[in-house]
Amino acid sequence: MRLVQRLLGWLQRQVQDVPTDVAVCEFRCRKLDCRHGDWEMCNRRLHPGFYPDSASPPEANTAS
């Protein structure tokens, strides 16, 4: 039982909260890579509740 508790403790330490602006990029954006400067001006990152999860903002549809 102690081994299970140690394993669960280790696993909980591995999982961390992701900052909202980074989480939007990692989990809700279709772009694979942002060009230099795009991340700072990204509407999806700056306004995470504005765009539904399934839709992309206009700037995400541009060629990367």
Asked whether residue 57 carries a pLDDT value surpassing 50, the answer given is no
**In the predicted model, what is the mean pLDDT of residues 56-60?**
47
pLDDT at 38: 83
Q: Are 25 and 41 in contact (CB under 8 A)?
A: no
Judge residue 37's burial from the number of C-beta atoms within 10 Å of its C-beta, 0-12 exposed, 13-18 middle, 19 or more buried: exposed
Q: How far is CA 55 from CA 4, 27, 31, 60, in A?
A: 41, 13, 12, 10
pLDDT at 53: 56
Supply the DSSP symbol for 19.
P
Q: What is the pLDDT of residues 14-37, one digit of tens each?
A: 888 888 777 888 887 888 888 877
Mean pLDDT score across all residues of the chain: 75
pLDDT at 22: 79
